[in-house]
Structure 1
Amino acid sequence: MPSNAPPADNIKRLLPWLVAVAFFMQSLDTTILNTAVPAIAEAMDVTPLNVKSVLASYTLSLAVFIPVSGWMADRFGTRRIFAAAIGLFCLGSLLCGLSTSLEMLVACRVIQGAGGAMMMPVGRMTLARTFGKADLVRAMSFVSIPALIGPMIGPVAGGAIVHWLHWSVVFFVNIPVGLVGLYFIRRYLPDYREDKTHPLDVLGLILFGGGIALLSYVLEVFGDNSLSRGEILGLLAVSALLLAGYGIRASLTAFPLLDLALFRIRTFRAAVNGGFFTRLGLGGIPFLFPLLYQVGLGFSPIQSGLLVLPQAIASIGLKTFMPAILARLGYRNVLVFNTIVVGLLIMSFATVGAETPIWRIVLQAFVLGFFTSMQYTSMNTLVYADVSGSQTSGASTIAATGQQLAISFGVAGASLIAALFVPVGLHTHAATMIYGVQQAFLVLGIITVLSSVVFMELKRDDGSDISRHDDTPHHAED
C-alpha cells in the first residue's frame, strides 16, 4: 500500500478493531494491576502506598517517550511503529512478571511504558488520517468500546489471579492478546508516513524528558521522608530550569519535539489543557479504589474488582449515544457541565465508609462511569477539531503526552494526599486508610470541578465539524 494512499474499504472496517487491540491491552494492564497492588506490596514487603511507584513509573515512561512517537511514525511508517510498540509492550510485560523486587518491577514497567507510549498516539493518528472529521466521533467511540472491555475484565481477573494464582500472572495475560494483534496489524494496518521528515529534536527530548522525569520523581517521594526539604527544592528547581529550557528551545528551533504553536488553536488548547487538569482528578481514582475496598473496607480482591465493574459497564453503554449527544448539545455545553458533574461524583466517594451499603457503592460507580466516558470521548475528539492533516501527528503526540502526564501526576498526587493522613505505621489500619482515601477523593474532586473553567473559553459552535454526523441536519450558517 502506498505510504499515504487511502485504505481499502475492508481495511477501513478493520482499522478500529486493530487500534482497539492496543487500547484494550493498556486498559487491561492498568486495571488488572490496580487490583493486585495490596498483593504485590505484601509479596515485596512494602506498604501498599509504596507500590504507587509501579503505577507512576509506567505512566511517566509513557509521558517521556510519547513525544518521539509522532516523529517515528512519520519517519518509519505507522504500521512498523505500531507493531514495534506492541512487541516492546509484550516484552516489558514478560519481564515485569519475572521481577523479584520492587526496584526491578519499576524498571521493567519503564520498558513496558516505552512500548505503550507509541500505541495511543500512533493509533489515534492513524484513525484521524483515515476517517473524515464528521466520522471521527463514531470511529473513536467504536474504538473505545472494545478497549473498555479491559476495565470490565481487569479488576475481576486481577482479583481472581491474586486469589488463586500468583500476582505475577497479571502481567502475562496481555502477551497472547499482543501476539494476535501483531499478526493483524502487520497485515492490515494502513502505513502512513511522510515523504520527508525533519531531524529529531534530541536536545528538546533531553530537556523535556529530564524535566518531566524529575518533577514526577519529586511528587512520588514527597512525604516519604527519603529526601530533605532542601533536596526536594533543588530537584524542583532543576526540573523547572529544564522545562523552561525546553520552552525556549521550542520557540527557537524550526522543528521542535512538541509543536507548541498548536496551542494557538482554541479547540486544541481547551482540549489539551482542560483534559490535563480533568485527568489529574480522574487519574488517581483507579489507585484509590483498591486501597479503599481492600485495605479500608476489608473486601477480597475479587469483590474489589466486582465493585469497579459497574463503572466500565456504564462507560460502554454510553458510547453508542455520544455522537448524538455532542451533535445536539455541542462540545462547550457538554464539557463544562460534564466536568463539574464528574468532580462532584469523585467527591461523593469521600462519603463511602465501613457502614456504606454495597448497593450505594455500585450505584455511585455506575454513574461515575457514565459521565467519565462522556468526558473522555469529548476531550479526545475535540483535539482534532481544527487541526490540519499535516498537524495531526503533532496534535496526537501533544495530547497523548499531556494525558499520560496528568495520569502520572494524578496517581502521585492521590498517593501523597492519602499518605499525609495515614501515618507510616498505620498503612494496614482499616479506619485510618479509609480516612486518608476519603481526603484524597475530596481534593481530586475539587481539582476536577475547577478544571471546568478551562472549557469555558470554547465557543458554542466549536467542534461542530466533528460533532455533526450523517443523521444530523447541516445548517447553512455552519
Structure 2
Amino acid sequence: MAHRVPYRLSCIIMPPLTTAATALPRPPAGMASVSTRYKRFMALIVASLMMMEQIDGTALVTALPAMARDFHVDIPQTSIALTVYMLGLAALIPASGHMAERFGSRTTLRCAIMLFLSGSLLCAWAPSLTVLALARMVQGAGGAMMVPVGRLVILRTVPKSELLSVMAWVMLPATIGPMSGPVLGGLLTTWLSWRWIFYINLPLGLLAIVLAGRFIPQSRASQPPPFDLKGNILSATALAGLIFGMELLTHPGFPRPLSVGLLLLAPICAVAYLRHARGLAHPVLDPALLRIATFRISVLAGGLTRVATAGIIFLLPSLLQTRFGASAAQSGLITFIAPVGAIIMRSVAPGIYRGRGFRAVMCAASLVLPCICGLLALFRPGMGMAWLLVLLGVNGMGQTLLFTGYNTVAYADVPPARMSAATSLYATCQQVMLTLGICLAAGALAIFHLVPPVSTRGLDYSLTFMICGGVALLALPILRGLSANAGASVSGHDGASAGKDAD
C-alpha cells in the first residue's frame, strides 16, 4: 500500500560522493619513491575514511522515520540532523590545510578521526533531536579535516604516472558509500536501532587511527602562510546561508522572510569573498585556479553530474518505499546493486582511460546517467524489479568510470605548489553541488505534487527524474572542451593521433 510522501523533506545533505582535500606541504624527499605496498596502504586508509563518512550520512536517509518516532517529531524536522553536518564541513574544510601545515599531516588526521568518532558516539547517545543535531555538527567538523588531509597526502606522494590507478581505489568508496549506506541503514534500523548507524563507526575509526600512525607521513611546513580567517568566515557564511536558507524554506514552522534572508546572504557573502580574495597571496579558496582548463572543466561538468547523482540518491529510496511499498531494508537492498557495478568497473577503469584518454571516455560516460534517468522515469509498479536492478548496476559502473575521470583529470595540470589550494576549492564546489542536487530533487517533487494540473501529480517522480537527467546531460558540451591529450601525463594516453579527429 502506498504511503504519503513527505514532500517537504528536502535538502537532506549527504557527505560528498567524492571528497577533495586541502593544503599540505610537500612530503620529505624520502617520500618521493615510497614502495607500492606503502602507497596501497595509504590509499586503503583514505578509502576507509571516505567509506565511513559517506555511509554514515546516507544511512540516515532510511532511518528518518524511526528517528522521528523516537524523538516524537515530524519526519521533515529530522532533516536538520543531516543538514547541520554540512555546516561543520563548510566551516572547517578550508581550515584543515592550515592545521595540517602547523601541526603535521599525521597528527591532524588522527585528531580529526577522533573528533569524528566522538561526534558519532554523541549521536548514538543523543536523547533529543537538538542534541543529535549538535553532535552531527561535531561529526562534520571531524569530517572536514579527516578525509581532506588524507586525500592530499596521496596526491603529494603518488607520482602522476601512477595517480590514475591509485585514485581508482580511493574513489571506489565514493560510489559504493552513497548506495550501500541505505542498505546498512535499513538493516540496522529494521533489526536493531538507528543508533547503531553511529556505533559501527567506532571499530573502523579506531583501526584507521592505528594505521594512520604507521603509514601517513608527518609532514608540516616550517613557516606556514598566515591563515585567511576573514576569507574562511565569508565563505563559510555563504555556504551556511545557502544550505539553511533552502532547508528552512521547506519547513512550514519557520517564517519565509528568514529563509529568503539567508538565501540572499549567500550571494552577498560570496561576492564579498571574491573581492577579498583578489588582494591576497594565499586566499583560503583561490578562484584563479579556474583558469586551468582541466580543473575548470572538472569542476563545472562534475558539478552538474553531482547535482543529478545526488537527486537520484534522494529519490530512489523514497520512490521504492512510498510507491512500491518496500520497507527501509528492502529499498536499501535493491539499490545495493549499484556498488556491485562500481566494483566491477574499478578494476578496468584505468585501462580504459589509458587506451582512449580522458576526453573520449568521459564524454561517452557522461551519457549513461541521462539515459538511466530517462528509463527510471518510465518505471511503474508492476513492471518487476529485474530491469531496475540492471539499470542500477549499469549506473554504478558508469558513475565509477566518470567520477574516476573527474577526480583525476582535475589535478592533472595543477602545479605542485598550488595543489593544496586546488583541492580546497574543489571540495567546496562539491559540497555546494551535492546540496543543490538534493534540494532540486526535493523541490521539484513538491512542486509537481502540489501545483496544477492535477494530472501531473501522479507523474511527480517521473518528471523529477527527467529534470535530473537534463541536468546531467549538460555536462557533455562542457566535457567536449577537453583537449584530446588532456591529462595524458596521468592516464598514459597518447592523444596526438586522436587530436586530429577531435572537434
- CA distances 1:349-393 after superposition (whole Å, capped 9, x unpaired): 222232231112211111111111112111111111001222111
Alignment partner of 1:458 out of 465, 482, 500: 482
Question: Does the residue aligned with 1:224 lie in a helix, a strand or coil?
Answer: coil
Question: Does the residue aligned with 1:194 lie in a helix, a strand or coil?
Answer: coil
Find out whether 1:358 has 2:385 as its counterpart.
yes
Specify the code of the residue in structure 1 equivalent to 2:262: L
Relative to structure 1, the CA distance from residue 393 to residue 183 in structure 2 (aligned partners, 3 Å threshold; closer, same or farther) is same
What's 1:442 paired with? 466
My pick for the range that moved more, 226-235 or 86-95, is 226-235
Specify the code of the residue in structure 1 equivalent to 2:291: R
Are the counterparts in 2 of residues 37 and 51 from structure 1 also a CA contact under 8 Å?
yes
Are the counterparts in 2 of residues 346 and 368 from structure 1 also a CA contact under 8 Å?
no
Return the offset for 1:419. Answer: 2.6
Question: Does the residue aligned with 2:483 lie in a helix, a strand or coil?
Answer: coil
Specify the code of the residue in structure 1 equivalent to 2:470: I
Return the offset for 1:22. Answer: 0.7
Relative to structure 1, the CA distance from residue 238 to residue 120 in structure 2 (aligned partners, 3 Å threshold; closer, same or farther) is same
Relative to structure 1, the CA distance from residue 106 to residue 342 in structure 2 (aligned partners, 3 Å threshold; closer, same or farther) is same
My pick for the range that moved more, 5-14 or 285-294, is 5-14
Return the offset for 1:334. Answer: 2.3
Specify the code of the residue in structure 2 equivalent to 1:140: M
What's 1:171 paired with? 198
Summarize the alignment of residues 283-298 of structure 1 with structure 2, pairs less than 5 Å apart.
Answer: 283-298=310-325
- CA distances 1:131-159 after superposition (whole Å, capped 9, x unpaired): 11111010011223466664575333322
My pick for the range that moved more, 255-264 or 452-461, is 452-461
Find out whether 1:24 has 2:48 as its counterpart.
no
Paired residue total: 468
Return the offset for 1:59. Answer: 3.4
Specify the code of the residue in structure 1 equivalent to 2:235: F
Residues in 1 aligned to 2:163 and 2:131: alpha-carbon distance in whole angstroms: 40
Question: Does the residue aligned with 1:6 lie in a helix, a strand or coil?
Answer: helix
Relative to structure 1, the CA distance from residue 50 to residue 453 in structure 2 (aligned partners, 3 Å threshold; closer, same or farther) is farther
Gaps spanning 5+ residues in structure 1: where?
425-430
Are the counterparts in 2 of residues 6 and 130 from structure 1 also a CA contact under 8 Å?
no
Question: Does the residue aligned with 1:36 lie in a helix, a strand or coil?
Answer: helix
- CA distances 1:231-271 after superposition (whole Å, capped 9, x unpaired): 44433322211110000011112221112221111111111
Summarize the alignment of residues 16-415 of structure 1 with structure 2, pairs less than 5 Å apart.
Answer: 16-145=43-172, 150=177, 154-415=181-442
Return the offset for 1:422. Answer: 4.1
Specify the code of the residue in structure 1 equivalent to 2:356: L
Return the offset for 1:276. Answer: 1.7
Are the counterparts in 1 of residues 246 and 263 from structure 2 also a CA contact under 8 Å?
no
Relative to structure 1, the CA distance from residue 236 to residue 142 in structure 2 (aligned partners, 3 Å threshold; closer, same or farther) is closer
Residues in 2 aligned to 1:46 and 1:294: alpha-carbon distance in whole angstroms: 20
What's 1:428 paired with? none
Question: Does the residue aligned with 1:247 lie in a helix, a strand or coil?
Answer: helix
Specify the code of the residue in structure 2 equivalent to 1:439: L
- CA distances 1:408-427 after superposition (whole Å, capped 9, x unpaired): 22223322222334459xxx
Are the counterparts in 2 of residues 353 and 434 from structure 1 also a CA contact under 8 Å?
no
Return the offset for 1:181. Answer: 0.7
Residues in 1 aligned to 2:108 and 2:266: alpha-carbon distance in whole angstroms: 30
Relative to structure 1, the CA distance from residue 241 to residue 40 in structure 2 (aligned partners, 3 Å threshold; closer, same or farther) is same
Are the counterparts in 2 of residues 57 and 109 from structure 1 also a CA contact under 8 Å?
yes
Residues in 2 aligned to 1:159 and 1:262: alpha-carbon distance in whole angstroms: 41
- CA distances 1:264-316 after superposition (whole Å, capped 9, x unpaired): 11111111122222211112322222211123311122211111111011011
Relative to structure 1, the CA distance from residue 132 to residue 227 in structure 2 (aligned partners, 3 Å threshold; closer, same or farther) is same
Are the counterparts in 2 of residues 211 and 239 from structure 1 also a CA contact under 8 Å?
yes
What's 2:41 paired with? 14
Relative to structure 1, the CA distance from residue 28 to residue 232 in structure 2 (aligned partners, 3 Å threshold; closer, same or farther) is closer
Are the counterparts in 1 of residues 231 and 284 from structure 2 also a CA contact under 8 Å?
yes
Return the offset for 1:35. Answer: 2.5
TM-score between both structures, scaled by the size of structure 2: 0.86
Return the offset for 1:317. Answer: 0.7
Gaps spanning 5+ residues in structure 2: where?
1-25
Residues in 1 aligned to 2:479 and 2:416: alpha-carbon distance in whole angstroms: 24
Are the counterparts in 2 of residues 85 and 116 from structure 1 also a CA contact under 8 Å?
yes
What's 1:427 paired with? none
Relative to structure 1, the CA distance from residue 476 to residue 406 in structure 2 (aligned partners, 3 Å threshold; closer, same or farther) is closer
Return the offset for 1:46. Answer: 4.2
Specify the code of the residue in structure 2 equivalent to 1:298: G
Specify the code of the residue in structure 1 equivalent to 2:490: I
Specify the code of the residue in structure 2 equivalent to 1:125: L
Residues in 1 aligned to 2:152 and 2:369: alpha-carbon distance in whole angstroms: 27
Are the counterparts in 2 of residues 70 and 396 from structure 1 also a CA contact under 8 Å?
no
Residues in 2 aligned to 1:298 and 1:477: alpha-carbon distance in whole angstroms: 50
Superposed CA RMSD in Å reads: 2.7
- CA distances 1:448-469 after superposition (whole Å, capped 9, x unpaired): 111333222211111111111x
What's 2:23 paired with? none
Residues in 2 aligned to 1:328 and 1:287: alpha-carbon distance in whole angstroms: 35
Are the counterparts in 2 of residues 137 and 466 from structure 1 also a CA contact under 8 Å?
yes
Question: Does the residue aligned with 2:30 lie in a helix, a strand or coil?
Answer: coil
Residues in 2 aligned to 1:265 and 1:131: alpha-carbon distance in whole angstroms: 21
Specify the code of the residue in structure 1 equivalent to 2:479: F
Relative to structure 1, the CA distance from residue 65 to residue 350 in structure 2 (aligned partners, 3 Å threshold; closer, same or farther) is farther
Relative to structure 1, the CA distance from residue 451 to residue 31 in structure 2 (aligned partners, 3 Å threshold; closer, same or farther) is same
Return the offset for 1:200. Answer: 0.6
Return the offset for 1:438. Answer: 3.3
Residues in 2 aligned to 1:251 and 1:349: alpha-carbon distance in whole angstroms: 45
